Chain A
Amino acid sequence: MIHPAAQADPGSSDTVIQFDDVFKIYQMGSNEVRALDGVSISFHRGEFWSIMGPSGSGKSTMLNLLGCLDRPTAGRCLIDQHDVAGLEDDQLSDIRLRRLGFVFQSFNLIPQLTVSENIEMPMSYLGIDADEAADRAAELADMVGLGDRLGHRPTELSGGQQQRVAVARALANDPSILLADEPTGNLDSSTGRQIMELMRELHEQGRTIVMVTHERHVADYSQKQLHMLDGRIGRIEEAGSS
């Protein structure tokens, strides 16, 4: 569904995210905090990016804008060819539902729901028939190696397993972009590696992934690294070029 308010991407049709001179300014009392201070960048289909930087560098703000959870103070944020700035709350919800998949640091599964119901949740919001959603949930659980845990509660799973469920949930509506916020932050290193292997596989299948992390070895799984500093882009590294 392309909303009339959405604007066509002037650049390549391969561009899934395009930021043009984006500002995000917070008013803290009399101080003006520039969380993003004129950021311009584009991400292309099939790329695997990681966004790095110290705390306060603006990487969380970047993620909020990429995730359509927030609107920029100034500038243009095109997410899959929709300008976030001009959209209503419901339209932002719709973009999140159809085009974005979220993976969080603390998994954020709904505790009272089973694995299957957690994965079905985005599909139910989209209005997909319950049987169809259950079938697809089973498929996705299989893909992340949890086909035999569909009826379990999140609390009955290990951290790594919960994060796999979260990945399956993020993929439920076949999004254009997978957003991950410190996906290994709550996991031990070997489990973290398994999750990153899964991310790498998804990337190899052609998915676009944007991940926020502050860990070098996690960022190494990505193709491109965006280093933020004081609300600006510090530098961009490409795998193998450094």
Chain B
Amino acid sequence: MTHGRIFRNIRLGIKSLMLHKLRSFLTILGVVFGVGSVVSMLSVGEGASRDAISYIKRLGASTLVVESMKPEEEMNASSSANNRWHTAFGLRYEDEPRIARLPNVVRTVPAKILRNREARVGELATNVRIVGTTPDWFDLIRRPLLAGRVLSAKDMQEGDGVCVLSERAARALLPNGGVIGQNITIGSAYHFRVVGVIKADEGSAGGVQTPDQPFDMYIPLNVAWQRFHDTDRQKGTGSYSNELIQLHRIIVEVTDVDQVKPTAVAVRAMLQRFHSRLDYDIKIPLALIRQAQATQRVFSIVLASIASISLLVGGIGIMNIMLASVTERTREIGVRRAIGARRRQIIGQFLIEAVVLSFVGGVIGVAFGVFVPYGITAFTGMSSVVTAWSIGLSLSISLVVGVTFGLYPAQRAARVDPIIALRHE
């Protein structure tokens, strides 16, 4: 068949389908939803995997994170009747140089984290997360510097009350610009001079969050200790407890990806010598992300498979309507056969109609499937990425559905006996 004849046959097929506009439209809907959901589900899966990749790119694959963790016995104790509790646990300042001395460790970044502190400039206030850290933080978490400078070794030595703000915190506190040199007040007494603004963003992948967050305020670690000490008051249900934590987190960068696991083992072995309880946890972001990715992939496949069931249902709808059409048009088939159409040409005619139905459904479904992920992202915060291959795959599947479910009705049409068909009213 030449191209011209294929197009002509498709045009004539569309004409036949347009005889029953509503019926054709309803038949198409099944495929529309099927293809739409396949594209959406694949885009959500793809989004999760992109998140993971961007996380790895941002932080580097060769890091591990040591975090303070409340030991289990303490958790149980604090839930007992005693409503004032003072617990000390977690990483200690001296753990950081110990880890830094381990082989293959390139850099260690300690972080003392104080959540939900009210920061104030004049009348404006916002809640920030205060991160007491060292200049190494900014080398490890590479974020664009928007104004001023990051923390320096000099800030550490002199114990200055300086801070670097994240972009959104800066905008909330000093919306009119002129951020550098301004004083930020924390609580009632402490002032910090802004020396720089950095872009900071939240990103998460597989339950692993990037170390920085949108409302961050970075100050020298020693200043954080001097001013805020180590006590953190935790509110419980009708009670509160004071937790004594020196360091919340130590991010460890090693020479390359292959050294991450051995170093984790070495860190654990070293910490066991100095900590009597298990009050720390070692996380390997890359491994967690890989695991999450694998889970996500299975999840995507399951979702896409469920979505494919609606495609199957759509296909059955097409088959149903094509069978009805063959019965209705028995006379037309008889006439065409009497005029000299071969069986194959009758099959071709009805197959084209079925494929037109499913393909048009596929195209509309792709339009839906490209649109829906925006909604998913807006409502759930899950990332979604519509890829060309998922569109191509869905369209191919819709073609296959058309051929598969159109073939039987078309064969039925071709088997019609022209003599009987011509008598058919």
Contact = CB atoms under 8 A, between A and B. Distances in A.
Contacts of A117: 12
Contact of A113 (B12, B337, B342, B422): B12
Nearest to B4: A130
B15 interface: yes
Interface string A84-101: 000001100111111010
A49 interface: no
Contact of A112 (B15, B331, B339): B15
Interface string B265-286: 0000000000000000000000
Interface residues of B, number: 25
A5 interface: no
Given A67-B338, A102-B339, A125-B340, A110 B332 contact: yes
B21 interface: no
A94 B343 CA distance: 11
A69 interface: yes
Chain A interface bracket (under 10, 10 to 19, 20 to 34, 35 or more): 20 to 34
B contact face: mostly helix, strand, loop, or mixed = helix
A121 B336 contact: yes
Nearest to B7: A130
Contacts of B344: 90
A93 B12 contact: no
Contacts of A69: 337-338, 418-419
A16 B351 CA distance: 37
Interface string B1-44: 00011001000100110110000000000000000000000000
A129 interface: yes
Contact of A94 (B18, B336, B340): B340
Contacts, number: 68
Contacts of B19: 111-112
B125 interface: no
A7 interface: no
Contact of B419 (A64, A96, A100, A169): A64
B339 A97 contact: yes
A29 to B, nearest CB: 19
B244 interface: no
B345 interface: yes
A113 to B, nearest CB: 7
A130 B8 contact: yes
Contacts of A110: 332, 335-336
A125 B340 CA distance: 7
Nearest to B335: A108
B309 interface: no
A90 B339 contact: no
A64 B338 CA distance: 10
A122 B340 contact: yes
Nearest to A120: B8
B341 interface: yes
Interface string A118-131: 00011011110110
Interface in A166-194: 169, 173
Given A64-B419, A124-B8, A127-B5, A98 B15 contact: no
A102 B338 CA distance: 7
A70 B19 CA distance: 32
A124 B13 CA distance: 14
B352 to A, nearest CB: 13
B417 to A, nearest CB: 8
Interface string B29-66: 00000000000000000000000000000000000000
Contacts of B343: 89-90, 93
B16 A124 contact: no
Nearest to B341: A125
Given A112-B16, A124-B5, A93 B419 contact: no
Nearest to B425: A106
Contacts of B4: 129-130
A204 to B, nearest CB: 25
A70 B8 contact: no
Interface string B402-425: 000000000000000011001000
Nearest to A96: B340
B65 to A, nearest CB: 68
Nearest to A129: B4
A2 to B, nearest CB: 16
A169 B339 CA distance: 9
Most buried by B among A64, A93, A98, A104: A93
Contacts of B335: 104, 108, 110
B341 A108 contact: no
Interface centre among B16, B337, B344, B418 (most CB of A within 10 A): B418
Most buried by A among B4, B8, B15, B342: B342
26 contacts: A64-B419, A69-B337, A69-B338, A69-B418, A90-B343, A93-B337, A93-B341, A94-B340, A95-B340, A100-B340, A102-B338, A102-B339, A104-B422, A108-B331, A110-B336, A112-B16, A112-B18, A112-B19, A113-B12, A113-B15, A122-B340, A125-B336, A125-B339, A125-B340, A125-B342, A130-B8
- Sort A-B residue pairs by CB-CB distance and give the 8 closest, nearest first: A97-B340, A96-B340, A108-B335, A93-B342, A112-B15, A122-B339, A112-B19, A69-B419
Interface of A: 64, 67, 69-70, 89-90, 93-98, 100, 102, 104, 108, 110-113, 117, 121-122, 124-127, 129-130, 169, 173
Given A93-B343, A125-B336, A129-B4, 13 more contacts: A94-B342, A96-B339, A102-B338, A104-B422, A110-B332, A112-B15, A121-B339, A122-B340, A124-B8, A125-B341, A127-B5, A130-B5, A130-B8
